[in-house]
Chains A and B, each alone.
Chain A
């Protein structure tokens, strides 16, 4: 795994985008793998292409073009073999992609430390944090707008909802993205690995204010997060949010 881990950090290392969650390096490894595989094909194809143009350019020496119709087996294999090779590399990419997809989107790790509810609306993210007890829909839940506070290294489940139009919950450093759909609650997970303050985007156009639907995630150490929870836990328990049916339009 060390080998894969190291290449999975390629884009982080060149300063393009940080690795901030447990599965971010898996996704980056897949991207890097595809980059190498298709990069080799691409370069080979372009080089041969340019070489042919140079070599077979009409030079005024009266040489005529060859008459090749491509029906001959000996000629045809120049197409057949590369095309089988494309298939083999496709299979390689498919296998790795399956692994990543299953890890991120299908295999939900059990026993989360905290469950949060993220609700997209025009044009803000409403976050319902689990509070001190780690449970959702209890009296100590903390509600914020456009601010997601999480504790580093903890396993989070989220329930993603929307009240009006489609939104898409996206935190680039975690490599997470999931559309929020009115009328549904979609469950997913993440586990941050780096403390700091990062962008929380809405990646699906949601109307006039799509540009200003800007959130932040705050990944905090255990002490910082405990302090934040303590400072923000409601004194009087608010009425639990039970009505999550979307408003009809």
Chain B
């Protein structure tokens, strides 16, 4: 085995900009430190989650009690309802899942886990957040301009989105497209950093297959994003032209085609599912390995499977369009590719379950979130099979079955995955240990109501309830008493779940005030971020402590060792 050369100069000492950089609030505004940028992304994303959650509260109240004066909002008109569901979807995907999972944890974890002092391009990283921040202001502004926010669904299908005489929101819809476009630019800038940092800044001795899986997955996700976003950015510019200059890219009367947008959108939109899924899956496998004290079952299988999933995800987009008027023969091809993607995803789930086998499992709060991710995501996965089979999609398309299905994928990703990551790396990020008892209350009061919201919605979907309707009383089959009871039940469950989030905020506040100080490695994990102080200093390690890597990140419970973990940077015993 080749002994890695010890290079203590790896990673420049950060003295120069640590001492002469901006001070006070400017330090946070103009910081190029990846950890500060990660926090900026995280807190912006969590603020937007509150906005998106409030929207869900308002429209679920309207659905359960049509015509009610919703406390904190007022009466919900049909137009406002459409704007609420549109922006709930847009915000939760582009301003919550993406910034928190990909940008915040990508930024925080990649340099720390590969043993680098910062990203390769710190200023591009800062620019990435600044563009993202502008995009956040644009999307929030779009909600309050004259005519109201965009109300044509988060998929923004033209001609509705392209023509103000149809959507009645001339400013809102243009700002919506500009906001989404800027957000894509921000993540393109961030993605460049993720990929380059993994390739070029690994600690001495760290080979490709010594990199923790979460880093692999975030980088594969960044590559998927960068490859898929181009067509959608082109489409977004065409859409802005249609809206503001009166061009006809999507207008059949002037030779355009509304279906073109759907192809551009979903060519991005489906890989996007995996862009947010992979970081969450990476987080989960890190946590499962640590808290079952087990090596990941088939490290390389996971990487190859993830890459295969990524490649396959570019060939499934038209399953969103089976009944949209595409050539019906295409449905056959996309049914095959869509069902095939169940194979690698099932394989990942099997790997996760197999990693538990023979473990010594500790049910800490982060572990509970990670296990819940697997259990809940399975429901999202298997219900996707119904929709991927074109014959069944004829009935299910645009019903609450679809809605419940993708909430069973996105909620585990964006909420469960985020809480798993947040509670696991909280000691490293803030240097304090969170309260486990409050953490478990928060966990159970989120998971149980979550299922009580969305399992009933599967039933409504099978009963034929179609989406984006503010009041079902005019549909005889959907206005049945039983169905209305289900809607009320789901809404009350949502209220419980939203209320439970205050436990989390209280826990954060309490920990910040009086939580016990976190040691360097509270979970006895192996990867490099646990070898530095909590929280890590500027530059991540003191210049004379830059890590050197001797082994992979999952050497737990190695036979003949006293400790059941073996940090990546611990030199091998020469004499034993």
Binding between chains A and B: yes
Which residues B327-372 have CB closer than 8 A to chain A? 328-329, 331-332, 335-336, 339-340, 342-343, 346-347, 349-351, 353-354, 356-363, 371
Sorting the interface of chain B by its residue count into under 10, 10 to 19, 20 to 34 or 35 or more gives 35 or more
Could you jot down 25 A-B contacts, CB within 8 Å? A31-B386, A38-B383, A52-B353, A52-B356, A65-B294, A65-B359, A68-B357, A79-B301, A83-B343, A83-B346, A90-B340, A94-B335, A164-B166, A178-B323, A181-B252, A181-B324, A204-B398, A205-B160, A207-B82, A207-B152, A207-B167, A210-B469, A246-B253, A248-B251, A248-B253
A139 contacts B by Cβ under 8 Å: no
Instruction: Give the interface of A toward B (CB within 8 A).
Output: 11, 16-17, 26-28, 30-31, 34-35, 37-39, 41-42, 45-46, 48-50, 52-53, 56-58, 63-71, 75-76, 78-79, 82-83, 86-87, 90, 93-94, 96-101, 104-106, 122, 164-166, 168, 170, 172-173, 175-179, 181-184, 186, 197-199, 201-212, 214, 245-249
B361–A90 contact, CB under 8 A?
no
**Shortest Cβ-Cβ A-B pairs, 5 listed:** A183-B252, A100-B391, A172-B464, A70-B298, A66-B358
B448 contacts A by Cβ under 8 Å: no
Q: Which residues of A contact B323 (CB under 8 A)?
A: 105, 168, 177-179
B293 contacts A by Cβ under 8 Å: yes
B475 contacts A by Cβ under 8 Å: yes
What residue of chain A has the Cβ atom nearest to residue B352's Cβ? A49
B82–A210 contact, CB under 8 A?
yes
A79–B295 contact, CB under 8 A?
no
B391–A101 contact, CB under 8 A?
yes
| Option from A39, A86, A176, A207 in Cβ contact (under 8 Å) with B160 | A207
Which of B340, B357, B386, B557 has the most C-beta atoms of chain A within 10 angstroms of its own C-beta?
B357
Known: A82-B350, A208-B168. A68 touches B361 (CB 8 A): no
B360–A208 contact, CB under 8 A?
no
B14 contacts A by Cβ under 8 Å: no
| Option from B329, B391, B398 in Cβ contact (under 8 Å) with A99 | B391
B358–A56 contact, CB under 8 A?
yes
What residue of chain B has the Cβ atom nearest to residue A92's Cβ? B339
Q: Which residues of B contact A168 (CB under 8 A)?
A: 323, 397-398
A177–B398 contact, CB under 8 A?
yes
A-B contacts at CB below 8 angstroms, number: 302
B440 contacts A by Cβ under 8 Å: no
What residue of chain A has the Cβ atom nearest to residue B560's Cβ? A67
Q: Which residues of A contact B468 (CB under 8 A)?
A: 205, 210
Give the shortest distance, in Å, between A27 (CB) and chain B (any CB): 5
B378 contacts A by Cβ under 8 Å: yes
Q: Please, how many angstroms separate the alpha-carbon atoms of A97 and B336 in the complex?
A: 10
| Option from B292, B379, B476 in Cβ contact (under 8 Å) with A65 | B292
Give the shortest distance, in Å, between A229 (CB) and chain B (any CB): 24
B79–A166 contact, CB under 8 A?
no
Known: A165-B159, A181-B258, A208-B82. A76 touches B471 (CB 8 A): no
B556 contacts A by Cβ under 8 Å: yes
| Option from B153, B395, B558 in Cβ contact (under 8 Å) with A177 | B395
Q: Please, how many angstroms separate the alpha-carbon atoms of A122 and B299 in the complex?
A: 54
B78–A208 contact, CB under 8 A?
yes
Instruction: Give the interface of B toward A (CB within 8 A).
Output: 78-79, 81-82, 151-153, 157-160, 163, 165-168, 248, 251-254, 257-259, 292-299, 301, 323-325, 328-329, 331-332, 335-336, 339-340, 342-343, 346-347, 349-351, 353-354, 356-363, 371, 374-375, 378-379, 382-383, 385-386, 389-392, 394-399, 459, 462-464, 466-471, 474-478, 556-559, 564
Q: Please, how many angstroms separate the alpha-carbon atoms of A6 and B353 in the complex?
A: 37
Known: A17-B462, A65-B292, A93-B339. A205 touches B82 (CB 8 A): yes
A67–B559 contact, CB under 8 A?
yes
Known: A49-B353, A52-B357, A53-B361. A249 touches B253 (CB 8 A): yes
Q: Please, how many angstroms separate the alpha-carbon atoms of A71 and B374 in the complex?
A: 23
What residue of chain B has the Cβ atom nearest to residue A210's Cβ? B468
| Option from A42, A48, A63 in Cβ contact (under 8 Å) with B353 | A48
A175–B153 contact, CB under 8 A?
no
Known: A49-B374, A58-B362. A106 touches B253 (CB 8 A): no
Which of A53, A75, A184, A245 has the most C-beta atoms of chain B within 10 angstroms of its own C-beta?
A53
Q: Which residues of A contact B340 (CB under 8 A)?
A: 87, 90
Known: A30-B389, A34-B385. A179 touches B159 (CB 8 A): no
Q: Which residues of A contact B464 (CB under 8 A)?
A: 17, 172-173, 199, 201
Q: Which residues of B contact A104 (CB under 8 A)?
A: 391, 394
Q: Which residues of B contact A17 (CB under 8 A)?
A: 462-464, 477
What residue of chain B has the Cβ atom nearest to residue A78's Cβ? B354
Q: Which residues of B contact A28 (CB under 8 A)?
A: 395
B151–A49 contact, CB under 8 A?
no
B470–A63 contact, CB under 8 A?
no
Q: Which residues of A contact B157 (CB under 8 A)?
A: 165-166, 204-205
B79–A208 contact, CB under 8 A?
yes
Q: Please, how many angstroms separate the alpha-carbon atoms of A243 and B384 in the complex?
A: 42
A90–B339 contact, CB under 8 A?
yes
Which of A76, A90, A170 has the most C-beta atoms of chain B within 10 angstroms of its own C-beta?
A90
Q: Please, how many angstroms separate the alpha-carbon atoms of A83 and B323 in the complex?
A: 30
What residue of chain A has the Cβ atom nearest to residue B252's Cβ? A183
Give the shortest distance, in Å, between A80 (CB) and chain B (any CB): 9
Q: Which residues of A contact B392 (CB under 8 A)?
A: 27, 30-31, 34, 97, 100
B359–A56 contact, CB under 8 A?
yes
Known: A83-B343, A172-B477. A31 touches B395 (CB 8 A): yes
Known: A57-B363, A208-B79, A208-B151. A67 touches B558 (CB 8 A): yes
Give the shortest distance, in Å, between B152 (CB) and chain A (any CB): 6
B336–A68 contact, CB under 8 A?
no
Q: Which residues of A contact B385 (CB under 8 A)?
A: 34, 37-38, 93
Known: A177-B323, A214-B474. A69 touches B350 (CB 8 A): no
A248–B395 contact, CB under 8 A?
no
Q: Which residues of B contact A184 (CB under 8 A)?
A: 252, 325
Known: A16-B463, A67-B557, A69-B295. A96 touches B391 (CB 8 A): yes
B476–A70 contact, CB under 8 A?
no
Q: Please, how many angstroms separate the alpha-carbon atoms of A104 and B464 in the complex?
A: 18
Given contacts A45-B378, A181-B259, A248-B253, 9 further A-B contacts (CB under 8 A): A58-B360, A83-B346, A99-B391, A104-B391, A105-B323, A177-B394, A183-B253, A208-B78, A211-B78
| Option from B163, B361, B386, B394 in Cβ contact (under 8 Å) with A56 | B361
A246–B252 contact, CB under 8 A?
yes
Known: A42-B378, A67-B558, A201-B475. A56 touches B390 (CB 8 A): no
A82–B346 contact, CB under 8 A?
yes
| Option from A37, A46, A87, A165 in Cβ contact (under 8 Å) with B378 | A46
